[in-house]
Structure 1
Amino acid sequence: MIFAAVAPVLAVLVAFPLLFVILQAVFPDIARGIFANPFSRFVETLFDKHLFHWTLNTLMLGGSVVLVSALVAVPLGVLRGLFRIPFAGLWDVVFLVPFTIPPYIAALGWIMALQPRGYLEQITGINFGGFLFSFWGVVFVMTLNVFPVVYFAVSRMVASIGGRYLEAARVAGCPPMRSFWRITLPLTTPAIAASLLLVFAMAIEEFGTPAALAARSGFLVLVTGIEQRLSDYPIDLPGASLLSVILVLIAMVAFMVQNRIVSRRDFQTVSGKPGAMRPAELGAWRIPVVVFFAVIGFLSAAMPILSVVLTASTRTISGGLAADNFSTDNFAEIFANSGGAMEALGTSLLLGLGAALITGILGTMTAYVVVRQRTVSSRILDFLTLMPNTIPGVVVAVGLILAWNQPWLPITPYNTIGILVLAYCCLLLPYPVRYANAALRQVSVSLEDAARVAGAGGIKVFFRILMPLIFPSILAAMLLVFAVAARELVATILLAPIGTKTVALFIWRQFEQGSVGMGMAMSVMAIAITMTIPVAVAIWARKQGRLF
């Protein structure tokens, strides 16, 4: 029954627009309704002299971001799940901050801080411009933007597993490190694999950071080629669509690797989720662990925000950190609703909340079908939910434009606020699906069987047994969706109806007009406001006794 409800929604939400991306790659003139000359652009695009280097660079970038994210986030997540970390709730909020900062804003913030004569050099005399505008500089900045995906997945999964299995192993004489490698790590493998798959997909589809930091050194990736085909005259929709198909094929290979990792062994615990656990004390490691969390928090959240705030608080960029150059004029303009700033904030908040709610429900239902059925059709649904995250938002937007402008459609959400909701849900659905998938793999089907034997119906089993067990992971995913949707830029620029104002559009237009300070001031406001909801939810979850 759940499959019958989920499949049509995914078909409309994901398959329908992506189908037109593929059709555009095959039929160059489909935008005019002409199905002629199929595959006529394949040879020209596939034999482009730049394609091999773009593809290799994409794989290098995605793999490097995955590796560094794992090295940073997995230890953080394990520590957060097993031990009593000082200021644990604060670190959760801090690590959510990168998702409230648009990648292009974060990249600009790092440029303002580390470039020659940047804020860091003005304060300390140190110049890291050479590192920032390099391959590893891009990996560094992108890792700080995406590592929370792994951190939240691992920390929630480790917390839901609990520490009693480790305690039982130690009673049996197993050393602590061996207990971790033989018990905690295998049980956390689904969450690690699922979150790293999302990180890889996010890394290969990100455009703003590579374009801002590495393009000047000649390090171009597939999304750079797609952007060139969509922005340079003449516009090459077939070529951009074909490059997007190549990205999907790369993601398909990554999906198969992830599925192989989580399917070759059984990671279930037959007793379900342990009761309330008591996190272990850090002891002598308390200060080093706090320093570790503080350093990552400063680099991922405080450093870019400080740079953004400094830029927003200055009259001119060229004036630097001079006392007479500081001013609150940009913030006063925001509060005065200059250019519809407050309307943009309200619209973005509503769109973010709507996308989080829809994707949370749909993602949980889809993950349940995937985990419990394990059929070919369920695997197709699983991959279908991953595909939007492997395609640049600009191409998804083009697919939505092509799909919902067909003359034979009786009704269409195009040119309404509904098209933005569809775009955000299509782009961000992988978050709740991956998180729910990993959480459901930890819940043995024997719990559902026992409830049904006792006379509980399917709906009651789902809401009374499964949902309480996987709720922390779903809640974390929905907060990520809200944070990302509230600042989505590319799809918003192409799809927003005339007169619609969002935070991303406001910031973009300020940059186009040369009002960088005004755009940064709006960024500060957006970050502050979008963080209030996660903080409120975290406080509520803690009072309710949730593992969040």
Structure 2
Amino acid sequence: MAAKGSSIGGFAPAAWLAIAGLIVVVAIPFVAVVLQGIFPNLGQGSLAGPFSSFVTTLGDSALIGMAGNTILLGFCVVVASALVAVPLGVFRALYRIPFASVWDVLLLVPFMIPPYIATLGWIMTLQPRGYLQQLLGFNLAPFLFSLPGMTLVMTFNTFPVVYFAVSRTVEAVGARYADVGRVFGATPAKAFWRITLPLSAPGLAASLMLVFAAAIEEYGTPAALGRRAGFQVLVTGIDLRITDWPIDLPGAAILSILLVAMSLATFLLQRWILARRSYQTVSGKPMAKDKRPLGSMQLPVLAAFAVVAFLATGVPLLAILATALSRTISGGLALDNISLNNFMLVFSGEADALVALGNSFSLGIASAIITGLIGVTAAYTVVKTKIRGRLAIDSMTILPNALPGIVVAVGLILAWNMPWLPVTPYNTGFILLLAYCCILLPQPVRYATAAFQQIGDNLEAAARVFGASGVTAFRRILLPLVFPSLASSMLLVFALASRELVASVVVAPVGMQTIATFIWRQFEQGSIGLGMAMAFIAIVITTLLPLLLLTLLRRSGLVAE
């Protein structure tokens, strides 16, 4: 019999690989941010004046405004996302919606469009002489460049999280319990509010917490819309401190710590909500026949789905495509202004667009491989071993959930830009690779953890009884079983890393372009059509390529249907 901590739970190489990867990818940038905040002269090799920058930074009157704006923006996006997603999700769960799967796809697409690209599409639509004014004679620029405008744009990007959480949770509950309440005299509204909604509350609350965390961490929309409106948030405040002269690294570190505290509090609140209540049904899975016909509500409900799908998916994509197909922006929506020149310029290589595509895809592939390797070994160590320190490993895998991209970028600058370092990845492509791995590591970890939890210990124990080593049992038995989940998460990492913005803008080496920096800089330089052509190509490739690979994996039998 193998001792605990050796076989089922003793794959030491996995533990050491996970620890090494987590230290380099997660711990170093986070510790660098904390130390820089405490010791403002750390970059000069001095520990003098600890906490002195806290007094200066926290005493800045602008900080209260930025922190308040951050919370306000997050709250507004949460409320707006709930107002949009909850009704649609409830109808999707309880009623027979015509073309339900089509609506699901259309409402998923906004989540796949990078927020900064969607924001640029809205700018082209609502700004003066934008597409709305060309079509209808007026513009909504004052609304767009305001808190309500930012809320609207960010809501259309985040509401799918709430929609799918509500629709799946309410569908799992079904209408049967509400029907029992109605038998005992409750009205339909009362049965929903007193029975169906409370049973679905944990999933709803958790999704809203995720929306809040995403809203306070978002960089592209506040940078594009908020600065023009004079609405500063912590993310843009951090960016200003590390990009505008004089550089204020201690101040940026302190603001980063404050933003991490907000994100961590949100994440812990989400976990508490999910752990506080657990509901189980004992009468089987709800069936499609449990869903009711819409009846007289059919037209209003379908209209609501159509309006939301058009605003969230249609407007950004059409604006991006229209801009990409325009010879000149001043030419507007006219047949003689349509041209494929911008797309041809992207693929000609003259504007370094192909180099940017190659850089992003290379970094995306490398990020998927590294995060997949760290994720599967960390998940195995936490779930299947009894070694000491596995709780610390688990904590480090959770920490990236609370690290916004801007904080990761600041931490990497602070950690790897020290003058006394003999070798550093700073100002090379490896610094971007580290950033992407830190930001996206939770994806493979969560997928692999869930997969390992579904595998009993008896399989590995049987292999060890017949003489297989821990490495062999992991490689020949466990890894093939978790590979479907791991492959899906790695494809997601590739898609997200290929178009990541904030870390790319902040830490990209001089002269190195990625998809995100290329698009952002084309807008800054006035080459809007070229930037939009790149954006449309990026959306198509990073959405369709993972789907194509998943289809091929399913057909080969490596991933289950």
Output the amino acid matched with 2:39. Answer: F
Q: Is residue 313 of structure 2 the alignment partner of residue 301 of structure 1?
A: yes
Structure 2 contact 515–538 (Cα < 8 Å) conserved: yes
Equivalence for 1:344: 356
Spell out, residue by residue over 1:103-145, the C-alpha distance to the aligned partner (whole angstroms, 9 max, x if none).
Answer: 3332222122112332112212343333222212111111112
Equivalence for 2:129: 117
Equivalence for 2:27: 15
> Secondary structure of the equivalent of 1:50?
helix
> Secondary structure of the equivalent of 2:294?
helix
The 2-side partners of 1:174 and 1:456 are apart by 55
1:44 to 56, 63, 67: 56
Q: Structure 1 stretch 397-406 or stretch 197-206: which is displaced more? A: 397-406
> Residues 170 and 46 of structure 1: is their aligned pair in 2 closer, same or farther, counting only changes over 3 Å?
closer
TM-score (norm 2): 0.78
Aligned residues: 532
> Secondary structure of the equivalent of 1:338?
coil
Output the amino acid matched with 1:284. Answer: L
1:312 to 320, 324, 328: 324
The 1-side partners of 2:480 and 2:279 are apart by 23
2:272 to 241, 255, 260: 260
> Secondary structure of the equivalent of 1:17?
helix
> Residues 521 and 183 of structure 1: is their aligned pair in 2 closer, same or farther, counting only changes over 3 Å?
same
> Residues 196 and 480 of structure 1: is their aligned pair in 2 closer, same or farther, counting only changes over 3 Å?
farther
TM-score (norm 1): 0.80
Q: Is residue 435 of structure 2 the alignment partner of residue 423 of structure 1?
A: yes
Query: What are the equivalent positions in structure 2 for 1:191-202 lying under 5 Å apart?
Result: 191-202=203-214
The 2-side partners of 1:368 and 1:70 are apart by 36
Equivalence for 2:76: 64
Structure 2 contact 219–236 (Cα < 8 Å) conserved: yes
The 2-side partners of 1:224 and 1:301 are apart by 26
Displacement of 1:262 in angstroms is: 1.8
Displacement of 1:170 in angstroms is: 8.1
The 2-side partners of 1:246 and 1:294 are apart by 40
Query: What are the equivalent positions in structure 2 for 1:507-526 lying under 5 Å apart?
Result: 507-526=519-538
Displacement of 1:257 in angstroms is: 1.7
The 1-side partners of 2:85 and 2:394 are apart by 25
Q: Structure 1 stretch 366-375 or stretch 283-292: which is displaced more? A: 366-375
Q: Structure 1 stretch 60-69 or stretch 144-153: which is displaced more? A: 144-153
Query: What are the equivalent positions in structure 2 for 1:29-428 lying under 5 Å apart?
Result: 29-74=41-86, 76=88, 87=99, 90-152=102-164, 158=169, 166=174, 186=199, 189=202, 191-267=203-279, 283-284=293-294, 288-356=300-368, 358-359=370-371, 362-363=374-375, 384-385=396-397, 387-405=399-417, 412-428=424-440
Query: What are the equivalent positions in structure 2 for 1:448-459 lying under 5 Å apart?
Result: none
Spell out, residue by residue over 1:136-177, the C-alpha distance to the aligned partner (whole angstroms, 9 max, x if none).
Answer: 21111111122334445566x649xx75x7487589788798
The 2-side partners of 1:546 and 1:276 are apart by 27
The 2-side partners of 1:185 and 1:449 are apart by 33
> Residues 231 and 277 of structure 1: is their aligned pair in 2 closer, same or farther, counting only changes over 3 Å?
same
Q: Structure 1 stretch 219-228 or stretch 64-73: which is displaced more? A: 64-73
Displacement of 1:36 in angstroms is: 2.2
> Secondary structure of the equivalent of 1:339?
coil
> Residues 342 and 289 of structure 1: is their aligned pair in 2 closer, same or farther, counting only changes over 3 Å?
farther
The 2-side partners of 1:539 and 1:36 are apart by 58
Q: Percent identity?
A: 50
The 2-side partners of 1:361 and 1:174 are apart by 52
> Residues 252 and 378 of structure 1: is their aligned pair in 2 closer, same or farther, counting only changes over 3 Å?
farther
Structure 1 contact 309–520 (Cα < 8 Å) conserved: yes
Structure 1 contact 95–300 (Cα < 8 Å) conserved: yes
Computing the radius of gyration from Cα coordinates, the structure with the larger value is 2
Displacement of 1:503 in angstroms is: 1.3
Displacement of 1:431 in angstroms is: 4.5
Structure 1 contact 419–495 (Cα < 8 Å) conserved: yes
The 2-side partners of 1:98 and 1:92 are apart by 11
The 1-side partners of 2:15 and 2:280 are apart by 23
Output the amino acid matched with 1:14. Answer: V
Structure 1 contact 205–390 (Cα < 8 Å) conserved: no
The 1-side partners of 2:388 and 2:82 are apart by 30
Output the amino acid matched with 1:302. Answer: G
> Residues 448 and 322 of structure 1: is their aligned pair in 2 closer, same or farther, counting only changes over 3 Å?
closer
Spell out, residue by residue over 1:367-390, the C-alpha distance to the aligned partner (whole angstroms, 9 max, x if none).
Answer: 787789999977765664454454
The 2-side partners of 1:305 and 1:129 are apart by 19
> Residues 28 and 90 of structure 1: is their aligned pair in 2 closer, same or farther, counting only changes over 3 Å?
same
Spell out, residue by residue over 1:61-97, the C-alpha distance to the aligned partner (whole angstroms, 9 max, x if none).
Answer: 1122223223434555566677776555544544443
The 2-side partners of 1:153 and 1:480 are apart by 19
Q: Structure 1 stretch 359-368 or stretch 488-497: which is displaced more? A: 359-368
Structure 1 contact 360–432 (Cα < 8 Å) conserved: yes
> Residues 547 and 91 of structure 1: is their aligned pair in 2 closer, same or farther, counting only changes over 3 Å?
farther
Displacement of 1:303 in angstroms is: 0.4
The 2-side partners of 1:371 and 1:270 are apart by 28
Structure 1 contact 314–517 (Cα < 8 Å) conserved: yes
> Residues 509 and 172 of structure 1: is their aligned pair in 2 closer, same or farther, counting only changes over 3 Å?
closer
The 2-side partners of 1:131 and 1:38 are apart by 44
> Secondary structure of the equivalent of 2:332?
coil
Displacement of 1:244 in angstroms is: 0.7
Structure 1 contact 95–297 (Cα < 8 Å) conserved: yes
5+ long unaligned stretches in structure 1:
none
Displacement of 1:475 in angstroms is: 7.3
Spell out, residue by residue over 1:313-365, the C-alpha distance to the aligned partner (whole angstroms, 9 max, x if none).
Answer: 22332332234333322122122222232332233234334434544565576
Q: Structure 1 stretch 394-403 or stretch 44-53: which is displaced more? A: 394-403
Output the amino acid matched with 1:424. Answer: Y
Displacement of 1:218 in angstroms is: 2.8
The 2-side partners of 1:260 and 1:545 are apart by 36
The 2-side partners of 1:5 and 1:414 are apart by 23
Output the amino acid matched with 2:505. Answer: I
Structure 1 contact 82–279 (Cα < 8 Å) conserved: no
Spell out, residue by residue over 1:412-469, the C-alpha distance to the aligned partner (whole angstroms, 9 max, x if none).
Answer: 54455433222112112345556777x68xx9x7x7669679968896996688888x
> Residues 307 and 179 of structure 1: is their aligned pair in 2 closer, same or farther, counting only changes over 3 Å?
closer
The 1-side partners of 2:513 and 2:26 are apart by 25
Output the amino acid matched with 1:119. Answer: Y
The 1-side partners of 2:302 and 2:377 are apart by 38
Structure 2 contact 375–444 (Cα < 8 Å) conserved: yes
Q: What is the root-mean-square deviation in Å for CA atoms of aligned residues?
A: 4.4
The 2-side partners of 1:453 and 1:334 are apart by 51
Q: Structure 1 stretch 335-344 or stretch 492-501: which is displaced more? A: 492-501
